[in-house]
Structures are given as C-alpha cells and as structure tokens.
Structure 1
Amino acid sequence: MDVLFIEFYHNTGFYLWDYRYLIMIVVGLVFVYLGIAKDYEPLLLVPIGFGILMGNIPVFQGLGLSIYEDNSVLHYLYFGVTQGIYPPLIFLGIGAMTDFSTLLARPILMLLGAAAQTGIFITFLGALALGFAPNEASSIGIIGGADGPTAIFLTAKLAPHLIGPIAVAAYSYMALVPVIQPPIMRLLTSRKERLIRMEEPREVTKREKIIFPIVAFLLCCFLAPAALPLLGMLCFGNLLKEAVVTERLAQTARNSLIDTATILLGITVGASTQGDIFLVPSSIGIFALGALSFSIATASGVLFAKFMNLFLKIKINPLLGAAGVSAVPDSARVVQMVGQKEDPTNFLLMHAMAPNVSGVIGSAIAAGVLWSLMAS
C-alpha cells in the first residue's frame, strides 16, 4: 500500500513542482486579477492568465499533457499560433467591427499612425545591438505596435521559439495602455496643446466606405506583399461590414469567429509560458525592449503631431499622436481621458480613432516589411 501511495505521489504536481512553475502561476493569477478586477483588456488577459495556469501545472512526460508534446491536445490547438492561423482570423473580426469614417474624413491623421511605427524600427536596432539575431530583433521590435495578433504572426514566422515571451509582453503592454501612455503624453505636451479642439470632420459617403477597404488592400499589399494575410483579412472584414448585403457574415466575423480565435489564442499562448522554458534571461530582455518600443512609439506619434502643427493652419491636438499605436480602441480612449482632464467638454475620441485604426494598418505593413527583409 505504501509503495502505491509513493508511486501515486511521484506522479502528482506536488512532487514534480519547480519554483519556476510557481513564479509563472503567480504571474497568471496577476493577469486574471488585472483582467477581472481592473478591467484591463479582460478578453485578452483572462484567457492568457488562465492559460499560464494551465501551462504551469507540472506533468510528467509521455501522457500527452504538455503543450510541447506532439501528441497533446494543447499542442494541436497551439498549431493555430505557431502557423499564424489565429491572428488573421482576429484581423477579420477587427475589420468587421471597425469604422474607417474618421480616417477617410481627415486622411492627414493617417500620418500619426505611420509615425508611431518608429518605435518598432528603433527597438529592432536596439535588439540587434544587444546581441539578438536579426529575426529575433524583428519580432521583438513589433511589440511597439501594441498589436498582439501582429506580434504573434510575425514571431511565428521568424522566431517561433520566442512566441511565449513576445506574445505575453505584447498583450501586457496592450492591457497597460491606460497606465503607460498618459505620463508620456503629459510630459511631451503643454496644457495649451492639450486644450486644442478639433474641428468637426466632414460626412463620409457610403460609397467611400465601400471603396476604401478595396483600395487600401491593393495599395498596402503591393507595397508590402508579406502583410497580405493580415491586411487582406482586415480589409475583407471591413468590406463585409460596409457592403450591408453581407451583414450576416460581418456579424459572424465580429462576434463568434473573433471570440473563438481570441479564446484559443489566449489559452495556448498562456500555456506556452511553461516556467522551465519561459523563465530565461532572454525573456527579461524581451520585456524591457518591449516597454522601450511601446514608449518610443507613443512618443513618436505625439512628437510628430507637434511637428505637423508647425505647417498646419488649423492645428491638431498632439495627444492624438499617442493613438497611433494599434491598441484599438484603448489608445483612443486614453487620448479622450487625458484631454478631458484638461477640459471636460473637449471630445477627442472620434478624432483619435483615425490614427488608431491607421496604426493597425501601419503595424501590419511594418510586420510585412520586416518579414520580407528577413526572408530575403
């Protein structure tokens, strides 16, 4: 009887535990807490946090339980991450729920979304300087776009061994947008600038809304063909939304499809953060570089807006530049929040959505450029 008990005990997680598993379990609990109690990107942090818990239950090899075992259920679900399947599905849903009207009404704000991508390429150079391989540096730099699906998609193609830390870093900074961005925005702008009111945008016609996703897809993908899986699905989803006659498909894309893809991506990315594999020095470097990338991206957008004001007769509020990262719609909400702290009657949210959605396009193009450069 004692022998059976000892054998049973040796097969439990209590016997197989490692301090690294315990650290990651605490991290998973923090993610779940932030998602539920603080409402920080709950649709992302809760699945990822619980996935971290699942991935850090100590198991013995051979039963097909670990996400890194070829015959495990989690490994099959993780296939959608490693092969870049889930991110385009999420982009399809984002396209089906995004209104590009503000961008079409004032196209000049698209430049802010482009400027915010500066952080990606500066961090790419920084990662190279720290000794990361070019393909790894490309995947680390894309964190600055604050676009989790794009970061996962590019990493799956260039540095699949880094998917865990890069995905967790990208989604962590997406969730912490309300914490990270406001200090940078206030530091780089004066109160007078934060009080600038935006003029009402012109009304965009239905024809423009239908034509835009087709033209945007063709122009962007001719420029960066490697961005086709992401931008193709984004623009297709938006066409389904604007065409009206395909509203049933648009409803599916922006509801059940994107929800399913988000759940599977979150759970499997979280489960991939197995303590003995995840807790290595390179992961710490990735988190530090990711924070730098996101901060530079925010600052670049704000500073470029100030630069544009040197030439514009009708000034734009520089806070809008912070929405150039692709954390939709959180960055736009942060712009609204910071602006209304100075003037509660100043409504910037609608205007901030223009650089915000252009940031989604910009980060996808940046990923396509990096992928094509690394593949050549």
Structure 2
Amino acid sequence: MDFLLSGITSITIPQLIMYGVGILLIYLAIVKGYEPSLLLPMGFGAILVNIPLSGVLDQTLAGIGETHGIIEWLFQTGIETSEALPILLFIGIGAMIDFGPLLSNPVMFLFGAAAQFGIFFALSAATLLNFDIKDAASIGIIGAADGPTSILVSQILKSKYIGAIAVAAYSYMALVPLVQPLAIRLVTTKKERLIRMPYNPVSVSKRVKIIFPILVTFIAGLVAPMSVALVGFLMFGNLLRECGVLNTLSEAAQNILANLVTLLLGITISFSMKADAFVTKETLLIMALGLVAFIFDTIGGVLFAKFINLFRKNKINPMIGAAGISAFPMSARVVQKMAIKEDPTNHLLMHAIGANVSGQIASVVAGGIIIGLVSAL
C-alpha cells in the first residue's frame, strides 16, 4: 500500500504548479485554438515529466536498476546531441512557403530585417538583468516568434532555460492575434491604417523561384555560417516545393513530416519543463522579456515602414511592417483582419505575406548571427 501511495505523497508544490501550467496549455490549445499542434503536446508533456518517479524520465529503481524514459531519450537524441527535430521541421516549413509575393515586391525584404529589432533589445535587457550572455541571447530570440529557432539557439548555446524559452516562444506565436493588434494601434493612426496598397504582382518565373532558395542559402551561409542548418533546411524544403519534379515529397514535407516533427518536438521539449528547473523567478522574467521582445519586434517593423514612407510617393500601410516577424502565416492574417476592420475593401494580405516570409528568413539568419557572435566571445 505504501508503494501505491508513494507517488501521491511525493508530489511537491512546484510540481502542482506545473500541472496547472500543463492544463493551461491544453486549455489554450483545445478551447481557444491557439497553436494546438504545439501547445497540446507541450502541455501534456509538462504533466508527464512532473509525475513523481515518472517512467518517461531516466531513473534508478530498487530491484530493477537503471531505466530509460522515452521523453528524456527523445530530448537527448533529437535536441540535445543533434538539434535534429527543430532543424527537420524547417523542411516542412520551407515546403509550405510561397516566396512569390516577396519576389514580386522585393522591398518587403526590408521589413523582415526591421522586425528583428526586439531580439536585440531583449538581449540587451536580459544582460542588464544579470543573465549570462548565452542565456540572454537565447531569451532575445523569443522575439522572432519562431519556436524552432528559439529551441535551436538556446540548445546550441546551452542555455539553462530552454524549457521556459520554448514555452514563451510558442505561447507568443499562439498569441499573435491578441498581442500584435495592440502593439500596432499603439504606434499608428487610423489614417495610416487606412492606407491602400493595390496589389500588382510582377510575374515571377519558375526559374527564379528555383534559383532563389539556392542563392539565399549561399548568401546566408557566407554572411552567417552558423545559420546554414536553419536556412539550408528551410530553403531545401522550398526547393522541393518549387522544383516541380518532387510533388509527392513536397506534399509529404508539408503535411506528414511537418505534423509528425511538430508532435514529437512539442512533447520532447517538455523534458525541460521539470518543476525544479521551470518554477523559478527566472522563468517569470523570461516570459516578460519574451513579451517585450515580441512587442518591440512588431513596433520596430511598423516604425520602419513609417520611416520608409518619408521618402516614398506611394505610401506603405505601416501595418505591413508588423508582418515582418517570423510567425507565418498568423501575422499576415492579423494585418489583413485589421485592414478589413478599418476598411472592408482594403486588402493587404499579399503584401503582408511578402513581409511575413521575409521575416521567416530574417529570423533564422538572426539566430545564426547571434550564435556566431556569442560563440566568438
């Protein structure tokens, strides 16, 4: 009987808190529909790893010896030693992206770069709060609103807070429809939000679409070599999409591979959500700094668009700048919904998608640059 009750009597207050965190993530996934493919496995995994003597973790049992838990094994194999899971996910993401709207309006490249401002702002703020530079850099990348990049950067830099960083990154990705409109309205006027941008796409040839991912890989790899794994797999996925001779593989990457890796990544990252490492004041600071990074990324993109308008005859709706973050395609949809709300005949979706896919490239390049800079210190 004592053996049967040992699990219940071993539960700690921090573990109870983590059960609450897990249930909250599951609630947001199921009831609110916020990134369910990510938050649901993360939430359920948070419960699994915090059950006393949990069989999903490595442990030594009397009379049995050392046992190996599946979640800990997945973490060690797929994230800790190889970073395979977040990198493989980029193949699926790349296969989903159509760079046509970006290539037909190259000015949108600028917004992907401008919307990374919050990363460096949060990095600086975390350093001032006495976080180690590797932890501060990992926290800053939350602002990219790109979960796989956040996981990869924090893992390569051996951050102590990978669990909190992953939860923050994916949570803010899910909360894009709530957070971004507030940030956009804070720095725009109604008149600016009403600016119309007719969409007159330039025809982009198949040859250009094939050359683009190869060229981006070369450029990003030479400028930021540490980004090659991220950018390379993203562009490889896009090449599968655009080459025209691997349609079955492209569809598999977009659906089967992306869904399977997302499922495994979500439940695997919960290994870093054990109560003793997660329930700390640092976690609260990371969540706050992540929100600051996300807000400042959004504001940075909007303000850059307003700056560009000082020199343009044909004005850009500054809301487009907010779509320069990496949360694809959620951020583009937010901009479209806001535009429609202000004027039901104003359609900005294709412009926003151009900025949004630019942000996807910019975030992984920024991650590579940060890894390279911090590693060089």
The interval holding the TM-score normalised by the smaller chain is over 0.9
The counterpart of 2:41, out of the listed 22, 39, 47, is: 47
For 2:64, the equivalent position in structure 1 comes to none
Give distance in 2, aligned partners of 1:100 and 1:68: 48
For 1:310, the equivalent position in structure 2 comes to 310
Give distance in 1, aligned partners of 2:351 and 2:277: 43
Residue-by-residue CA offset, 1:70-98 (whole Å, 9 max, x unaligned): 83221111121223111111111010110
For 1:66, the equivalent position in structure 2 comes to 57
For 1:205, the equivalent position in structure 2 comes to 205
For 1:17, the equivalent position in structure 2 comes to 11
For 2:247, the equivalent position in structure 1 comes to 247
Count of residue pairs brought into register by the alignment: 367
Equivalent positions of 1:1-376 (< 5 A) are 5-10=1-6, 12=7, 14-59=8-53, 65-66=56-57, 71-79=68-76, 80-82=78-80, 83-200=82-199, 201-376=201-376
| Percent of aligned pairs sharing the same letter | 49
8 Å contact 1:90–1:261 — kept in the other structure? yes
Give distance in 1, aligned partners of 2:143 and 2:105: 25
> Could you tell me the TM-score, scaled by structure 2's length?
0.94
Give distance in 2, aligned partners of 1:203 and 1:54: 51
What secondary structure does 2:273 align onto? coil
Give distance in 1, aligned partners of 2:53 and 2:245: 51
Residue-by-residue CA offset, 1:202-225 (whole Å, 9 max, x unaligned): 222222111111111111111111
8 Å contact 2:53–2:59 — kept in the other structure? no
Give distance in 1, aligned partners of 2:277 and 2:59: 10
Moved over 3 A (4+): 67-70
8 Å contact 2:138–2:154 — kept in the other structure? yes
Give distance in 2, aligned partners of 1:39 and 1:271: 24
Residue-by-residue CA offset, 1:295-333 (whole Å, 9 max, x unaligned): 100000000000011111111110011111100110111
8 Å contact 1:181–1:334 — kept in the other structure? yes
8 Å contact 1:135–1:158 — kept in the other structure? yes
Can you give the 5+ residue segments of structure 2 that lack an aligned partner in the other structure?
A: 61-66
Can you give the 5+ residue segments of structure 1 that lack an aligned partner in the other structure?
A: none
What secondary structure does 2:161 align onto? helix
Given residue 315 of structure 1, which amino acid in structure 2 is its aligned partner?
K
What secondary structure does 1:161 align onto? coil
Give distance in 2, aligned partners of 1:203 and 1:133: 48
What secondary structure does 2:53 align onto? coil
> Could you tell me the TM-score, scaled by structure 1's length?
0.95
Offset at residue 150 of structure 1 (A): 0.2
Given residue 17 of structure 1, which amino acid in structure 2 is its aligned partner?
I
8 Å contact 1:67–1:78 — kept in the other structure? no
Offset at residue 375 of structure 1 (A): 1.4
- RMSD of aligned residue pairs (Cα, Å): 1.4
Evaluate the alpha carbon distance shift between residue 339 and residue 151 of structure 1 in structure 2; reply closer, same or farther with a 3 A threshold. same
Given residue 308 of structure 1, which amino acid in structure 2 is its aligned partner?
I
